[in-house]
Chains A and B, each alone.
Chain A
């Protein structure tokens, strides 16, 4: 599936005001508003072909057309109970993955309407985050009881690890070269592992063994709830966001603090995304505003003002110039 709008820069934000706004990232102007009735937006993600935006809400995932003026979703995925807290896509757009408060992670087959290849992975606590390994074959699932599950989609084999007892895993991130994995919990602590890819199976069998994790570092990143963690595309930085109203950037070379993105009006920083060249970061905050930050100067380059309630998630896809 080719990237039809490869040069397009897409920025969408959503939260509690029952609307999702699309922005012209370089000017701060809101170009379109779509409706997301009756539920807050928990997570947003853009399909790899830049055609659709997925919004995870209460008991549903709604898909919106990006290049259209239709204010309503075009597809509604339902049949789940309680909040869907995470959503993402396979790089070829063949399937979508979600995680939810119903203690499950699911794979939705997008090739057909009847969800031929759907999969489900049950855990024992509500799922807060789901991360797809860049190898497209493993899902990392973080739950409220503090467990990280590694689910091999081909074999259904899974491993578990608990970085900190009873500390709810809020977010998991893997850098694009699959060298590191980070997980942040509700105590504000961020754990980092080195990833060792699985070995090729003997005798020419298809596939490989599971990725191994080797603990690398623990960052006492924030004194309050951690909300999101994300590696920059060039893997130089690890960003962590928190209820302490800041987003922090850590150097991955030695895990020292590089800079703090904060400003007076900013409240809880619920989400963060990087530009493709790791020069800019965009944050979404519960002060109803999203902000574009220059990584080099830690200054705000643009503010996206227009929502009337707290923002809890953003989706950003940088284009190729």
Chain B
């Protein structure tokens, strides 16, 4: 039905004349052909109809019926009588038609390519033997019997098997099949993968991977791991694909923390990223999903089992902790410490409403936000009551500073674990300098002792 509508839309532009459809042989023929073309998914009809013209007589008669004697009627039709599908700027296009036409074009391309490929194949047809011409001498020469000689019994396969027997069977070999290079015609994606687990210099040289577009993200991770092990890169990988996650990579190859990691079950073909970063996360993504987008309070953390908690913290999600920020002169202020992938935030807690705190609470207790780059260390302090110290580099004052937060021991553990994990991966120049400085200081101290 839509085709009729489309047809009338095409013609209405230039022809206001009477449209006689079903008693116009030419129209019926064109309509039937075009219907076959549009509804055929295999492209066979296109192939056949390409070479079959509507008989001239019918064509001429049909045109006359339609257009009277207008000369510009020729433009409307191809030689084989197919009605031109011009794209009409007036929005009368039926989108479905255009899409189907595009499909046909794609299929035509595919067929043209196949024909080209077929042309490269030389064909040899069986020829009935002409025994009269074939003399006995020739026959004897070609088909004569030979002495049977002993076969060589050395096996290259056995040698290779023995050589590679000591190779640990790559745990990721099942993912080798997702390599797009050994596949036929399947759509693939070529992606640069930055490997965050490698050393700082190696990290800058990404691995180029060609994966079949139908693979899932977890399978792409497997393929990257397979290639990593196969190429004997250092340090060796541990665990399974569940321990790794892919993030969108920034220009320098570091994972982009603004976006969560790629969902393992998603199909790679959906994405168009050219650069991704592989990151190790100790927890399987399934567990992390449990608390995604929710700020966990200390209470919630306390009710969880310790192992789970540990696993949950070593992830890239945002977590918040409650404690008291210690000052040198002022009383302690209750705060919420928020740690995320790219910053540490200290927010005052407007919970206590006693007069004293109101008097003391000053506007200078604004939330403090520290980008992860300036955080250099996080250690538990041996004070009573226990507290945790977060060291950072103050870019304005150009020196290292320390924040002390008092909280219960469990929270201290978690804060230290989380920050240490993040610093492992994201630790930048400031941290390196600090660590260098500290090791120098410690060395000196040990010498003195």
Q: List B136-161 residues whose CB lies under 8 Å from chain A.
A: 138-140, 142-148, 150-161
Interface string of A181-201 (1 = CB under 8 A from B): 000000000000000011000
Who on chain B is nearest to A81 by CB? Answer: B126
Interface size on A, residues (CB 8 A): 71
The segment from B18-26, B38-46, B181-189 that touches chain A is B181-189
Partner of A208, one of B118, B139, B145, B156: B145
The segment from A25-33, A41-49, A140-148, A217-225 that touches chain B is A25-33
A306: B residues at CB distance < 8 A = 177
Q: How far is the CB of B43 from chain A (nearest CB, A)?
A: 14
B150: A residues at CB distance < 8 A = 176-177
B121: A residues at CB distance < 8 A = 72-76
Given A26-B157, A72-B117, A280-B158, check contact A207 B129 (CB 8 Å).
no
B384 at the interface (CB under 8 A from A): no
A13 at the interface (CB under 8 A from B): no
CA distance A276 to B160 in the complex (A): 13
CA distance A73 to B119 in the complex (A): 11
CA distance A7 to B117 in the complex (A): 31
Q: How far is the CB of B166 from chain A (nearest CB, A)?
A: 12
A80: B residues at CB distance < 8 A = 126
Assess whether B176 is in contact with A29, with CB atoms less than 8 Å apart.
yes
A278: B residues at CB distance < 8 A = 153
Assess whether A35 is in contact with B153, with CB atoms less than 8 Å apart.
no
B interface, how many residues as a size bin? 35 or more
B122: A residues at CB distance < 8 A = 74-76, 113
A120: B residues at CB distance < 8 A = 128-129
Q: How far is the CB of B61 from chain A (nearest CB, A)?
A: 41
Assess whether A33 is in contact with B184, with CB atoms less than 8 Å apart.
yes
Q: How far is the CB of A179 from chain B (nearest CB, A)?
A: 9
Partner of A115, one of B127, B139, B161, B176: B127
Partner of A25, one of B143, B146, B157, B174: B157
Assess whether B182 is in contact with A318, with CB atoms less than 8 Å apart.
no
Assess whether A117 is in contact with B138, with CB atoms less than 8 Å apart.
yes
CA distance A34 to B164 in the complex (A): 27
Assess whether A275 is in contact with B126, with CB atoms less than 8 Å apart.
no
A178 at the interface (CB under 8 A from B): yes
Assess whether B157 is in contact with A319, with CB atoms less than 8 Å apart.
yes
Residues of A within 8 A of B (CB): 7-9, 19, 21, 25-35, 71-80, 91, 94-95, 106, 108-109, 113-120, 133-138, 153-154, 176-178, 197-198, 206-208, 233-234, 275-280, 301, 305-306, 318-321
Q: Assuming A71-B184, A134-B148, what are 12 further A-B pairs, CB within 8 angstroms? A: A8-B156, A31-B182, A34-B184, A75-B121, A77-B123, A78-B124, A78-B125, A113-B122, A276-B156, A306-B177, A318-B155, A320-B154
